[in-house]
Chain A
Amino acid sequence: MTVYYSKDHEWIRVEGSRGTVGISEHAQEQLGDVVYVELPEVGRSVKAGEAVAVVESVKAASDVYSPVSGTVVEINRAIVDNPALVNEDAEGAAWFFRIELADPSELDQLMTAEAYRDYLATLTQG
């Protein structure tokens, strides 16, 4: 089981051919109080980098991009009913959707947890 991160601040935890996707702790901090979440339909086929979900804080609406291509197989209704869960446990209970990976080699384009930490450091310097 490995967790990867995208430059758009999504994480994906991969187990076998399936990945669980959410937004990073950094992303939820930047958003502030999350008040609304919109998830894709189960069965939707998505491409890597495609906007598939929406997360809205008091401040603004943001797209959530799928870090990989594949088919959405499960969504987390708990965050639709209780959007604040995204602030409480962004990289755990507040996952957004599960996806059946179309091409596991796409994971090579993503960052490890350590590389993502370094990436965040470059953002805060700017």
Chain B
Amino acid sequence: MLDVEKVRRDFPILARSVNDQPLVYLDSANTSQKPSKVVTAIRDHYLKHNANVARAMHTLGAEATGAYEGARSKIAAFVGAKTEEIIFTKNASEALNCAAYALSSRLSEGDEIVISVSEHHSNIVPWQMACERTGARLRWFDVDESGYPDVDSARAESLINERTKVVSVTAVSNVTGVHFPVAEIADWAHEYGAVMVVDGSQMVPHMAVDLGTVGADLFAFTGHKMLGPTGIGVLWGRYDLLESLPPFLGGGEMIEIVRMTGSTYASPPYRFEAGTPPIAQAVGLGAAVDYLTKIGMDTIAHHDQEITEYALGILGFIPHLRILGPTTGVRGSAISFTLADIHPHDVMQILDAHGVAVRGGHHCARPLHERFGVQASVRASSYLYTTKEEIDTLAAALMEALQFFRVPGVHHA
């Protein structure tokens, strides 16, 4: 059992008020809040150990390098990977762009890339750009009314076939919370020798991950959704694959020898880390991983599931509320919905007046909203610090929104 009240004391921001109401932070799928330990780790790094990594040979340089590489090891252990397979990026978007750019070297006209309609824009646009560069064709899995990928139909139409060179899907949808059958899709992709890329941005913060069993060849996630700072993300790759890929960005420390006539490149992961990396951010992410590990990812997953089930139950009682995604079973903690015909921006505004922070819009997943026939939605997303009382506050504020916009059949207070 997670002691939520104890956890909450580690997050000073949760004690503040918003618009004279206690803050109810339900936007963790957007970015998570940060425990004091993460902030302290970043502060200590800057105040006591700051220097550049790798190229600074003095004592502080060694300390900074040790801290940066130590963070890499911690993160590797956290997701069941080898240290040298962890590439630090700016965020998940950059990780996916790195994957798409490096894999473009293997693509040509007639090749196919397969994604899903449920992807975040960061797992759509880089592949569209790869197609523009190489002449490859983009195809995608459709989803059913609950947001599950329609694998049967995809098999019937041979969505993945001998022309497929890359398959890239999310592990957990940031809109519907659907867990994608990544291992099944990966097996199918591997039958044809395609590279399997997985967007783990909504997975890694919420459950134990063993990259040895996910089925991915490349796997992206971001630090700021898992209690870490902004400005740090990860691209993991199987080492033999990384070794065979060209660099994404060129610059300092990604090289072996630079001559004016041409250069050779460093081995992974450094080949993909041009320039001074986000050092303090890596240290902060290392501290976040320590914090998550101490609580236990299974404990967090259990808490997430409990809060999500509770929220789905309560939201089910609110009139004119339509949930986009599954309402039962194991699913992610992001719950997207529409409320009557009130625009999500307006719902968000009423909720904000009650201190409740949610996201209103298409959550960087416009194609999925189009697929569901809605323009936008409201998304409430919880995490390890979310309480049932906060879900009650959300529900009460949603009822207020119905009354404020005078939705028929809802009594005016």
A, B from the same assembly:
no
Interface residues in chain B, defined as those with a beta carbon under 8 Å from any beta carbon in chain A = none
Interface residues in chain A, defined as those with a beta carbon under 8 Å from any beta carbon in chain B = none
